[in-house]
Amino acid sequence: MEIVMSFVVGFLVMAAVYLMLSKSLLRIIIGTGLLSHGAHLLFLTMGGLGGTAPPVVSPGVTDYADPLPQALILTAIVISFGVTAFFLVLAYRSYQELDTDNMNLMRGTEDHD
Amino acid sequence: MPFVYFIFIPMLAAILIPFLYKKVRSIHTGWFVLVVPVVLFGLYTTFVPKLQNGDTYTSSFDWIPSLDISFISYIDGLSLLFSLLITGIGALVVLYSIFYLDKTREQLHNFYVYLLLFMTAMLGVVQSDHLISLYFFWELTSISSFLLIGYWYKRDRSRFGALKSMMITVFGGLMMLGGFILLSIMGDTYSIRELIAQAPELANHKWFIWSLILVLLGAFTKSAQFPFYIWLPDAMEAPTPVSAYLHSATMVKAGLYLVARFTPLYASSEWWIWLVTGTGLLTLFWGSFFALKQTDLKGILAFSTVSQLGLIMSLLGAGAISFHTGVEDNSIFKYAAFAAIFHLVNHATFKGSLFMIAGIVDHETGTRDIRKLGGLMSIMPVTFTIALIGSFSMAGLPPFNGFLSKEMFLSGMLSIQNFDLFAFATWGILFPIIGWIASVFTFVYSLYFVFRTFTGKYKPDLLPKKAHEAPIGMLIPPAILGTLVIAIFFVPNLIGDYLVKPAVMAMQPFLYTSPSEIDIHISAWHGFFEPELLMTLGIIGLGLLLYWTLPKWQPLYTKFPDWLSLNRLYDSLMYFSEVGTNRLSRIYMTGYMRSYLVYMFTGIVILTISTVFIKDAFDVSFAMLAPIRFYELIIVLVLLAGTITILLANSRLTAIIALGAVGYSIALFFVIFNAPDLALTQLVIETVSVALFLLVFYHLPKLNRHENRLKFRLGNALVAFGVGATVTIVALSAHSQKLVPSISSYYEETVYSKAGGGNIVNVILVDYRGFDTLFEIAVLAIASIGIIGMIKLRLTKKKEVNRIEDK
């Protein structure tokens, strides 16, 4: 399963990079969302997908899923959410101010051209 | 007081100058400054008798003891000679500047602070025995000279000249630092004396030749040797006292000093002999040839300085030959070093006086253009007399000191062909010929300088001012130097015995152990039918002929193509380095975020993939894998379908829903892979995110592709595929080669017994690794504050109103 997941992660990252290279601000933000999904899945996969039970202590279970990557992913999810929310509002505000979502038109001011 | 502190006296005095300038306006600040070089000159004179039997004196204080860096003042014949020149001519220049610079119109405090700083720097250069402190003072001379050249900073030409000299001398200084570092590594010491002591071992070191070339680059740039002489003529924008002091008598001789100082270390190398002699001779010829092209008095003197420095440099190179011939061989090479030092002193005297003369002419007539000048002989008789003495000495005529050193130079060059090492026997014949031709030109420009200015027709209508004789104070310093010029001719052996011989001993310790062993006696008269006499007669004859026909052939100089000049080369180098780098950065700094992302992604792909394959790290192992279950594959398919939908979506709603689908399928993965907390968080956050997206997208435009062409998209796809493939390769390899087991067993064992909890993930988050959580909370707080700030704070409100009105 880890091998399949590696390819899935690769595909997610590929899609994310493709979106991030486009000119539209919205597609870039969606791309960052996909990229963080890919990263979280990669974390989980690299920690190993084995284990028969969730990492909650219960009698008779010896083979738990690895709890450390899960804790790390949990932190990462929250942080990427914060950053995504910030990006979204930033995109909203820049569209309000600049009247465009075309990245190619956002190239600094005329003074610095 | 240890004499190492003498070096810093001018610098300390420089601190007082601005106060004196502000408080004592009635007295010219120069009078206070004058005390410093006079006192120092007196102090250094006391060393002269002490050095007569070959003793040397050192005095030092630590600067950075842990790195073995200290200021060492090492006084031997060579450094004493230079110290006397620096302080002696310094005193005369300060005296001259008192009358040259007006106390009401000029910013005297700046001038004298820079000048005193320069004096410290020069004293430091010539007395340092420590490589690092030598470099320190060396750069201080560059900087203070930069400040002095740019003294009239409101003039474009001054700033240009200052920058040019700075660029070239600092380039050389940095090269020299490289050479010094190599030397200090090779010899494991910073002390020049200790390095010289181990010269034979160093000569076999593989870096020896590199350090030699780098040190020579430093010396050549500072001493305005070919092809680095170009800064010197432009430095003539400095006030004349500065030109007289820095650009004739002291700073440009720092390079000569360096060559002389390192001669015992490098003399064994044929590279040294060839480079120093050859460059010196080429510079001598080049400078004397182009001096006649100049129409500016100081321009002529600048080129003549270049040429004379070349002469001294070539003699220093010939002096290094004596390392191979030895003292028993009674050839001229052991005299060459003597001649070099002797001419160095002579040049300082006559060139200093000539610069002061040029300054006087400029000061009293308002112009330095030789085409406007003429017939000043009867108006400025004293100035004329001094100029005549200086010029004739420069031309090498008796009874002036230049004659003596020129004779020695000719003897030195004549005998160079007798040296049968390093192919000198074959090529050596060129040396006297080039030297002789250069001497002819020297003779011609010396006459040109003095007679075009002072004889001929007086042209009062061309002069900005009404010419008259200079004030007495301005005439005293050049008169003193002029007197020295004559005095040295009549009693050359006095200065020879007391100053030059100890200096020669410092330069050629492999020949002598005491100055009294140097059996050189300067004579003005070699005897009839000696080749030197014939050559001198030839110089005078041909020189006079060329001078009389000068109006006929001088216009030929204008035919010399301008683009061939080295100034043009420097200008275009500067231009292209500026414009070229500007263009270069414009090529890759496009301002499009996509370009930068492409650079980064491509860099990641190339670096990672090449590392993986160079290190042969790629590996797929099928051990330790979790089994693939049917429903897992379904979720994978959903996830892939969602991603593809996002890629193809044309409406933003589709894209958001598809993104949501991807998020939820990831939550399902978390469920399957035994991560309940993750699944919960992912579900909640995905829901909130989608809501946020929808909320924001309500205000945003349609999902526009901005009419991307296919080529653009294909490029993106290629980069994207590369990154995706890289991630997959890394993931596969990393998973297949786990080197250490997980540390999670510790958490599993102690979660209840030590932390008192059952949910291992939650205990890790708040107990084992609680700090992560603390700062993750901080991230969320900052993000929300940032969002509030972005929405609430409108600093461009006013502009917005205007924009709405425009619409």
**Which residues are CB-neighbours of A17 under 8 A, at least 6 positions away?**
A31, A35, B601, B716, B719, B720, B723, B724
Closest-CA distance, A65 to chain B, in angstroms, reads 6
Do residue B723 and residue A13 have CB atoms under 8 angstroms apart? Answer: yes
A96 touches chain B (CB under 8 A): yes
Cross-chain CB nearest to A14 (options B624, B705, B724): B724
pLDDT value at residue A113: 43
Do residue B783 and residue A8 have CB atoms under 8 angstroms apart? Answer: no
Return the residue in A4, A9, A19, A22 with the most chain B beta carbons within 10 A, the one to mutate for interface testing. A22
Do residue A54 and residue B685 have CB atoms under 8 angstroms apart? Answer: no
Closest chain B CA to residue A90: B790
DSSP state of B70: E
Return the residue in B647, B672, B695 with the most chain A beta carbons within 10 A, the one to mutate for interface testing. B647
Contacts with A93 from chain B: Cβ below 8 Å: 790-791
A110 touches chain B (CB under 8 A): no
A35 touches chain B (CB under 8 A): no
DSSP state of B226: T
Count of A-B CB contacts under 8 Å: 274
Closest chain B CA to residue A68: B744
Do residue B743 and residue A79 have CB atoms under 8 angstroms apart? Answer: no
pLDDT value at residue B321: 81
Per 3-state DSSP, chain B is made up of helix, strand and coil in percentages (nearest 5) of 75, 5, 25
Cross-chain CB nearest to B626 (options A2, A26, A58): A2
Sequence letter at residue B404: L
Judged by DSSP in three states, B376 sits in coil
Closest-CA distance, A39 to chain B, in angstroms, reads 10
Radius of gyration of chain B measured on its C-alpha atoms: 38
A49 touches chain B (CB under 8 A): yes
- To the nearest whole number, what is the mean pLDDT of chain A? 86
Closest-CA distance, B764 to chain A, in angstroms, reads 7
Do residue B783 and residue A104 have CB atoms under 8 angstroms apart? Answer: no
A102 touches chain B (CB under 8 A): yes
Judged by DSSP in three states, B369 sits in strand
Closest-CA distance, A66 to chain B, in angstroms, reads 6
Contacts with B594 from chain A: Cβ below 8 Å: 21-23, 103-104
Closest-CA distance, A60 to chain B, in angstroms, reads 13
Cross-chain CB nearest to B776 (options A3, A6, A79): A79
Contacts with B752 from chain A: Cβ below 8 Å: 57
Do residue B626 and residue A71 have CB atoms under 8 angstroms apart? Answer: no
pLDDT value at residue B339: 86
Element (H, E) at A102: none
Contacts with A30 from chain B: Cβ below 8 Å: 646, 655-656, 659
Closest-CA distance, B167 to chain A, in angstroms, reads 29
Sequence letter at residue B113: V
Closest-CA distance, B605 to chain A, in angstroms, reads 12
Return the residue in B648, B728, B729, B793 with the most chain A beta carbons within 10 A, the one to mutate for interface testing. B728
DSSP state of A65: P
Residue B62 region by backbone torsions, left for phi larger than 0, else alpha for psi between -120 and 50, else beta: beta
Do residue A57 and residue B646 have CB atoms under 8 angstroms apart? Answer: no
Cross-chain CB nearest to A81 (options B689, B759, B769): B689
Contact call for residues B254 and B248 (beta carbons, < 8 A): no
Split chain B (807 residues) into runs of 10 and give each run's mean pLDDT. Answer: 86 90 86 92 90 84 89 90 92 91 85 93 92 93 92 91 92 94 91 88 87 93 89 89 86 91 88 88 89 87 91 88 69 77 90 90 85 83 89 86 82 71 67 86 89 82 75 88 88 82 82 70 59 80 86 76 76 89 87 88 94 86 81 91 89 86 93 91 92 80 62 84 94 85 86 88 92 93 93 68 49
Do residue B700 and residue A52 have CB atoms under 8 angstroms apart? Answer: no
Closest-CA distance, A97 to chain B, in angstroms, reads 8
Cross-chain CB nearest to B662 (options A18, A34, A54): A34
Cross-chain CB nearest to B783 (options A22, A86, A103): A86
Do residue B769 and residue A8 have CB atoms under 8 angstroms apart? Answer: no
**Which residues are CB-neighbours of B317 under 8 A, at least 6 positions away?**
B259, B272, B273, B274, B275, B276, B277, B278, B280
Rounded to 10 deg, the angle between the B30-45 and B9-23 helix axes is 160
Closest chain B CA to residue A27: B703
Closest chain A CA to residue B699: A92
Residue B130 region by backbone torsions, left for phi larger than 0, else alpha for psi between -120 and 50, else beta: beta
Contacts with B760 from chain A: Cβ below 8 Å: 55-57, 64, 67
pLDDT of A111 strictly over 50? no
Closest-CA distance, A1 to chain B, in angstroms, reads 5
Query: Which candidate, B80, B512, B514, places its Cα nearest to that of B334?
Result: B512
pLDDT value at residue B396: 84
Helices and strands (H and E) in chain A: how many: 3, 0
Query: Which candidate, B481, B575, B526, B125, places its Cα nearest to that of B335?
Result: B526
Return the residue in B683, B727, B790, B791 with the most chain A beta carbons within 10 A, the one to mutate for interface testing. B727
Cross-chain CB nearest to A50 (options B591, B626, B636): B626
Interface of A with B in 4-23 (CB under 8 A): 4-15, 17-23
As to burial, measured by CB atoms within 10 angstroms (0-12 exposed, 13-18 middle, 19+ buried), residue B507 is: buried
Cα–Cα distance, B314 to B328 (Å, whole number) = 23
